[in-house]
Chains A and B, each alone.
Chain A
């Protein structure tokens, strides 16, 4: 029996309860409102930067892009400048499409053995849809939250908010990003749980961030639409944190501390988890290099001399035979 997702779920519920109990029963607003968020941000920044430096410190001995289109060769053959870039501009475009639109995942196919004899590959777009929806909704949500950390709120953020609540009638305004975020997370979770192959490869570390994010989205939605909390006070707390004049306004409800605690957990967990794909994708050698190795020499910083079998050694061994066969030799 596979309990990996259950453990992760229990862990996230426990985090939920810890924050609730800590604030409601133990009155530890100071810990959950100030200490934990600060600690989490420090861990996040330290962890993220050291991971990136750790990767960057490793050498890139060879230029090994995965070439997914026609190379640059003869003038009259049309090069695929994005999937097989030979210039930095091409690489930038390839990377941008990869990072902003998940271009490689867009290609995804599904294989089926039809009637036990014929392999069929069909376009499988749902993973791409789910992944893209989640990431963009998450980005929008995070950006939207900047209004809690800025005063006055910059225009682009106000604009984003307006756009995000575009389809709205009534109050409070419903943000589409929050709903898309939750729906996409549920889809990704169900896919992981229900597809046997994906379930088989999944680790607890794959379920945990999903539940954590679902917890964050749920607590946020609860706070905004159902168990309302004092938004002005919440902003006061947030502004206190970013201006290093932390304070605990009394009217902030425990749901806020739960939300904040889950976000803090995510931040602290981030650098030590697979979530670092966010940083790693920029450093992926099969995507961020130009396919121009025959045009321009790439230098390997640790290229060391090796023991080879020289022509002299070769001729010494085979000279007689070579002469007999009429092959030219260097030493008669």
Chain B
């Protein structure tokens, strides 16, 4: 946690929703420490072959742009207007009704009017009007048009990296204008002149080279899972044998590397491993991990459509090389937006795979018959529905759980009831947060779309405020002490958020809860959960 953050109460007291006296076009962006991420490392940019690799600092006056940067932006904009109807339509039809304004977590947390989705889009629209519309050229500012200047560019950069592409505003917009789409396009344009942030550029370069964002090399990846094998043996007495890069396996498993690397994601990872082991012992389930496609997430998505495609290509390539039947995907947010809405289009058709069928229940995953990739919450819900898992939810009795819908699986997929079904079967105490803060109205963790760096902690705490506030309400009402989620960025971002706003609440992935309840064949009586924390006394114990 950054030391220079004010106390939570002070933070709240400082949020001011009053609009400035000057019109927004006359209020230049002031790039402030704590609210932005460091500039990309030139080595990463160079490794990826992206434009204008150089060392630069957002606080400097000179951003060392190519001489013709205005032309590059203009031409890039023009090209994208032709390629994406979404952008063209969204540039033209906003009526500025303001319904989106207070739907954005960054606006709620900062009070900065340029974080209202409508104004974030106007930052681009104003330039669009000037460059591409007759009325804008004719009337200029009276028509809401303005020229692209260095100040405007800096404003773009500052605010396009204060949007997590969560799409909450697009649920409320009467025309479905999606700020994510505008931010994606804006960031793509910025990338054309080398204006990325390092928290995105370096993971992307890592992922391209080593197969995962964290740059874990194959042997180290295996080592990490081997550590988990030891940890699991300590808790359960059962020895697991995960398999890697194995040709001829039935199914390939891909999950975000964050699960392999950092707590509490690691417990979720152990959860997957235990589930697979259980299924292997009981039903002969045959699955392999890959070190080459060892990343479910895709920070390329936060760079450009092209970079997203370059990273995503590994999933199908690896599935083809290993000759598996279909792919199972772990818990992640934007990973699933990419898989669900982009992968088949970009890198399909996956005609070398089979339509996914659960080898245990025989369920055909009709909803994934073209992409051939199934979400593990769908997979596990199906197992539980068919009574294929032996579960003791009492082992989660020390937890009072609430569930955070990840933005992307919510508004870019619509996966709401599968994880809830799983939770309700592995946990005895589950409480929903208020209706306006869950499901399609879920609030972002505040750190999505590559913004979960350390240097922008103030921004993250602001953006995560609405989520934290909703957690606080169920914490106070029901004593909730555990926040479950199905997203690796959430598992990285929510713990500091909770520590700041609701310190009594911890964060878990879905499959950690599953694994705690799962009665693995041959296991010792468990005295602790996966985190090594003592289990509550069960009723049987109390009777003795």
Question: A residues touching B (Cβ–Cβ < 8 Å)?
Answer: 2, 7, 51, 54-64, 66-74, 76-78, 80, 83-84, 86, 98, 102, 104-105, 107-111, 113, 116-119, 121, 127, 131, 195-206, 272-274, 276-277, 280-281, 283-287, 291-300, 302-303, 306-311, 314-315, 317-318, 321-322, 324-328, 330
Docked complex: B204-221 residues within 8 A CB-CB of A: 208-211, 217-219
Q: How far is the CA of A76 from the CA of B418 in the complex (A)?
A: 10
Query: Which residue from chain B places its CB closest to the CB of A209 in the assembled complex?
Result: B95
Q: Contacts A58-B82, A294-B344, A322-B219 hold; do A119 and B469 have CB atoms under 8 A apart? A: yes
Please tell me if B348 contacts chain A, counting CB pairs below 8 Å.
Answer: yes
> Nearest-CB distance from A68 to chain B (Å)?
4
Chain B residues near A206: list those with CB within 8 A.
95-96
16 further interface pairs, Cβ-Cβ under 8 Å (given A281-B174, A286-B177, A306-B313)? A59-B82, A60-B84, A71-B415, A74-B363, A118-B469, A127-B98, A200-B24, A205-B144, A274-B95, A284-B90, A297-B344, A297-B349, A299-B345, A321-B219, A327-B218, A330-B321
Are the C-beta atoms of A300 and B346 separated by less than 8 Å? yes
Q: Is the CB of A276 within 8 A of B345?
A: no
A277 lies within 8 A of B414 (CB) = no
Instruction: Find out whether the CB atom of A205 lies under 8 angstroms from the CB atom of B368.
Output: no
Enumerate 8 A-B pairs (CB-CB under 8 Å) in ascending A order: A54-B88, A74-B378, A98-B174, A121-B436, A198-B96, A200-B23, A201-B122, A327-B218
Is B373 positioned at the interface, with any CB of A under 8 Å from its CB? yes
Interface membership of B431, Cβ < 8 A: no
Any chain A CB within 8 A of the CB of B244? Answer: yes
Are A68 and B418 touching (Cβ within 8 A)?
A: no
B434 within 8 A of partner (CB): yes
Q: What 0/1 pattern do residues 357 to 387 of B give for CB contact below 8 A with A? A: 0000001011111110100001001100100
CB neighbours (8 Å) of A64 from chain B are 86, 178, 181, 341, 412
Inter-chain contact A66/B178, CB cutoff 8 Å: yes
A-binding segment of B165-173, B259-267, B517-525: B165-173
Query: Which residues of A lie under 8 Å from residue B96 when comparing CB positions?
Result: 198, 201-203, 206, 274
CB of A66 within 8 A of CB of B167, answer yes
Interface 1/0 per residue, B324-343 and A, CB below 8 Å: 00000000000000011110
Chain A residues with Cβ below 8 Å from B247 are: 328
Are A196 and B82 in touch, CB under 8 angstroms? no
Point out the residues of chain A lying under 8 angstroms from B95, CB to CB: 206, 274, 277
Is the pair A285, B86 in contact by a Cβ cutoff of 8 Å? yes
Q: Is the CB of A272 within 8 A of B342?
A: no
Q: How many chain-B residues does the 8 Å CB contact rule pick out?
A: 122
Residues of A within 8 A of B373 (CB): 294
Q: What distance in Å separates the Cβ of A35 from its nearest Cβ neighbour in chain B?
A: 22
In the assembled complex, B102 has its CB within 8 A of some CB on chain A: yes
CA distance A111 to B170 in the complex (A): 17
- Is B314 interfacial (CB 8 A cutoff)? yes
Q: Mark B58-93, 1 if CB is under 8 A from A, else 0.
A: 000000000000000000000001111111111011
Interface residue from A105, A283, A324 paired with B85 (Cβ < 8 Å): A283
A107 surroundings in chain B (CB, below 8 A): 171-172, 441
**A56 CB to nearest B CB, Å:** 8
CB-contact partner of B218 in A70, A205, A318, under 8 A: A318
Mask of B469-490 contacts with A, CB within 8 angstroms, 1/0:
1101100000000000000000
Looking at B292, B381, B466, the one whose CB has the most chain A CB atoms below 10 A away is B292
Least distance between B45 CB and chain A CB atoms (Å): 15
Determine whether the beta carbon of A295 is less than 8 Å from that of B367: yes
A111 to chain B, nearest CB (A): 4
Out of B344, B381, B385, B470, name the residue touching A293 (CB < 8 Å).
B344
Q: Is B44 an interface residue (CB 8 A)?
A: no
B122 to chain A: which residues have CB within 8 Å?
201
Q: Are B434 and A121 in contact (CB under 8 A)?
A: yes
Report A77 CB to chain B, min CB distance, Å: 5
User: Which residues of A lie under 8 Å from residue B83 when comparing CB positions?
Assistant: 58-59, 61, 302
Asked if A131 and B174 make an inter-chain contact with CB atoms under 8 angstroms apart, the answer reads yes
**B 155-194 binary contact with A (CB < 8 Å = 1; else 0):** 0000000000001001111111110010000000000000
B416 interface contact, C-beta 8 A: yes
Q: Which residues of B contact A80 (CB under 8 A)?
A: 414
Q: In residues 119-138 of chain B, which contact A (Cβ within 8 Å)?
A: 119, 122, 133-135
Q: Max chain A CB contacts within 10 Å: which of B84, B96, B97, B172?
A: B97
A283 touches B89 (CB 8 A): yes
Look across to chain A and name the residue whose beta carbon is closest to the beta carbon of B47. Answer: A309
**CB < 8 Å neighbour of B88 from A58, A68, A201, A295:** A58
Evaluate contact between A281 and B84: CB separation under 8 angstroms: no
Q: Which of A105, A205, A297, A314 contacts B174 (CB 8 A)?
A: A105
B window 295-353: CB within 8 A of A: 305-306, 309-310, 313-314, 317-318, 321, 339-342, 344-346, 348-349
Instruction: Please give the distance in Å from B424's CB to the nearest CB on chain A.
Output: 13
In the bound complex, residues from chain B placing their C-beta under 8 Å from that of A324 are 219
Q: Which of B176, B317, B368 contacts A287 (CB 8 A)?
A: B176
Whether A108 contacts B177 by the Cβ 8 Å rule is no
CB-CB under 8 A from B209, the residues of chain A are: 309, 314, 317
In the bound complex, what is the Cα–Cα distance between A71 and B417 (angstroms)?
9
Known: A62-B341, A294-B371, A303-B346. A276 touches B142 (CB 8 A): no
Q: Please, how many angstroms separate the alpha-carbon atoms of A307 and B122 in the complex?
A: 34
How many whole Å from A260's CB to the nearest CB in chain B? 23
A84 to B414, Cβ gap below 8 A? yes
Question: Does the CB pair B176–A204 fall under 8 Å?
Answer: no
Q: Are A293 and B341 in contact (CB under 8 A)?
A: yes
Tell me, yes or no, whether B99 is within 8 Å of chain A by CB.
yes
A68 & B417 in contact (Cβ 8 Å cutoff): no
* Cβ-closest chain A residue relative to B371: A294
In the assembled complex, which residues on chain B have CB atoms less than 8 Å from the CB atom of A198? Answer: 96-98, 101
Quick one: which of A56, A71, A284, A294 contacts B177, CB cutoff 8 A?
Answer: A284
Tell me, in angstroms, the Cα distance from A84 to B439 when the chains sit together: 12
Pairwise interchain contact A116-B217, C-beta atoms closer than 8 A: no
In the complex, which residues of chain A have a beta carbon less than 8 angstroms from the beta carbon of B417? 70, 77-78
| Beta-carbon nearest neighbor of B98 in chain A | A198
Contact across chains for B367 and A73 when beta carbons are under 8 A apart: yes
Tell whether, in the assembled complex, residue A300 and residue B345 are in contact, meaning their CB atoms are under 8 Å apart. Answer: yes
> Which of B11-19, B232-240, B279-287, B491-499 has 4 or more CB atoms under 8 Å from chain A?
B11-19
Chain B residues near A77 (CB, 8 Å)? 381, 417-418, 421
Residue of B nearest to A321 (CB): B219
Cross-chain contact of A66 among B13, B317, B385, B411 (Cβ < 8 A): B411
Closest chain A residue to B321 by CB distance? A311
**Of the residues B142, B382, B441, contact of A204 by C-beta under 8 Å:** B142
Known: A55-B85, A294-B340. A308 touches B174 (CB 8 A): no
What are the nearest 7 A-B pairs in CB distance? A71-B414, A280-B93, A67-B414, A325-B219, A286-B176, A58-B85, A287-B176
For residue B291, CB closer than 8 A to chain A, the reply is: yes
Chain B residue contacts of A68, Cβ below 8 A: 171, 411, 414, 440
List the A side residues contacting B102 at CB < 8 Å: 109-111, 197
Known contacts A206-B96, A294-B340, A298-B344; A104 and B49 CB within 8 A of each other: no
Contacts of B441 in A (CB 8 A): 107
Decide if A71 touches B367 in the complex (CB within 8 Å). Answer: yes
- Min CB distance A199 to B, Å, is 8
Q: Is the CB of B292 within 8 A of A286?
A: no
Residues of B within 8 A of A202 (CB): 96
B172 interface neighbour in A67, A69, A86, A108, Cβ under 8 Å: A108
- Shortest CB-to-CB span from B481 to chain A, Å, is 20
A63-B341, A68-B440, A108-B99 are contacts. A309–B208 as well, Cβ < 8 Å?
Answer: yes
B150 interface residue per 8 A CB criterion: no
Closest residue of chain B to A299 (Cβ to Cβ) is B345
Docked-complex contact A55 and B440, CB < 8 angstroms: no
Cβ-neighbour of B222 out of A66, A119, A298, A325 (below 8 A): A325
Q: Please state if B113 and A307 are interface contacts (CB–CB under 8 Å).
A: no
| CA–CA, A183 and B119, complex, Å | 28
